[in-house]
Structure 1
Amino acid sequence: MHFNKTIPELSVFDIKKSKKFYIDRLGAKIEYERPEDKFVFLSLEGNQLMLEEIHADGWNIGNLTYPLGQGINISLEVTDVDSIYQRIKEHSISLYRDMTVSHYAGANEMIEQKEFLLQDPNGYLLRFNRVGDSSHYRPPTPPYVRNRIRRFNNLSFCLNRLVQFGQIY
């Protein structure tokens, strides 16, 4: 089995309820588990998560109350975000954010993602997305850039007119 370099391990309130949600509702599969430790390793299209029920000897660094994972979202890239979205709707699971197409600035391009967000039974925010073809997307030109282009075009026009009428050689 291949292990991703980063694998979130989520502390959960009830391992049985969490497993049911991730497997039956989201379509994840069990890679392995340790029932005596109330631990399970799950995968979904190359995404990997570990779940462990909260216990006194766990790596608890603060007060663990609902919603867990405050301040983070876990991005799960999938090939068919629409089918997972449909499965969620069929099971009447509340969405944190409905399906949308978002554009994010990357290093040298705009990245298009079709995505939706939901919370798992423990409150962790999960963002399911599919990265689309961003080559057709052209971001709007910011106003300050438009102003600079306009000024350059005006200057260029003036210089061309001066050359045309023999004022500049």
Structure 2
Amino acid sequence: MADSPAGGGPSPAPDFVWAPLVPELLVANLAASLVFWCDLCGFEIAYRRDEDGFAYLAREGAQLMLEERGEGRQWITGPLEQPFGRGINFQITVGAVEPILDALAVAGWPLHMAPEDKWYRAGEDEVGVRQFLVQDPDGYLIRFSASLGRRPLG
């Protein structure tokens, strides 16, 4: 098994492809975060280090790391207040948003922004997405997005 670029131990399989940019989110309770990210949003645990309160997650090529506050090695640059991650949202592209929306609804998890179909100008074209926003247990803003395709501008 290959080692992770961050020294996080063995990957789940020799063919695991490490994303070039992987955010690491500091969380208050790893177990609660794993319920949100895995059970509701469909991520899988690529690997974890329970002794560090750490989990590396993946879904459809998107990857992120979770680390429980007060455990393991952390780089805290200032005082932390919830919601963590103010001023940022993480866009995660998925094949379809509906399975995630269904799981969130069953769990009674509130959405930050209802699902919408939105077209954005990209040069001489528009790219369409079906998207919604939800906050994880620590207040990180997550935008799940599925492609609606591309069309000529105007």
Q: Which residue of 1 aligns with 2:146?
A: 130
Q: Which residue of 2 aligns with 1:51?
A: 66
Q: Which has the higher strand share?
A: 2
Q: Which residue of 1 aligns with 2:8?
A: none
Amino acid paired to 2:22: I
Amino acid paired to 1:77: T
| 1:27 and 2:42 aligned | yes
| 1:97 and 2:116 aligned | no
Distance 2:49 2:33 in 1: 15
Q: Note if contact 2:62-2:93 (Cα within 8 Å) is conserved in structure 1.
A: yes
1:119-167 per-residue CA deviation (whole Å, 9 max, x = no partner) reads 00000000000111222x643xxxxxxxxxxxxxxxxxxxxxxxxxxxx
| Match among 105, 109, 133 for residue 125 of structure 2 | 109
Q: Which residue of 1 aligns with 2:102?
A: 86
Amino acid paired to 1:106: A
Q: Which residue of 2 aligns with 1:118?
A: 134
Q: Which residue of 2 aligns with 1:17?
A: 32
Amino acid paired to 2:119: H
Instruction: Compute the displacement of 1:108 (Å).
Output: 3.2
Amino acid paired to 1:28: F
Amino acid paired to 2:42: G
Distance 1:109 1:5 in 2: 27
Secondary structure of the residue aligned to 2:150 is coil
Alignment length (residue pairs): 138
Q: Which residue of 2 aligns with 1:76?
A: 92
1:14-46 per-residue CA deviation (whole Å, 9 max, x = no partner) reads 111111211111111000001100000001111
Distance 2:45 2:74 in 1: 22
Distance 2:84 2:124 in 1: 34
Amino acid paired to 2:83: P
Instruction: Compute the displacement of 1:7 (Å).
Output: 0.5
Distance 1:106 1:35 in 2: 43
TM-score in terms of structure 2 length: 0.85
Amino acid paired to 1:2: V
Q: Note if contact 2:111-2:132 (Cα within 8 Å) is conserved in structure 1.
A: yes
Q: Which has the higher helix share?
A: 1
Aligned-residue sequence identity (percent) comes to 33
Q: Which residue of 2 aligns with 1:41?
A: 56
Which structure has the larger Rg over C-alpha atoms?
1
TM-score in terms of structure 1 length: 0.77
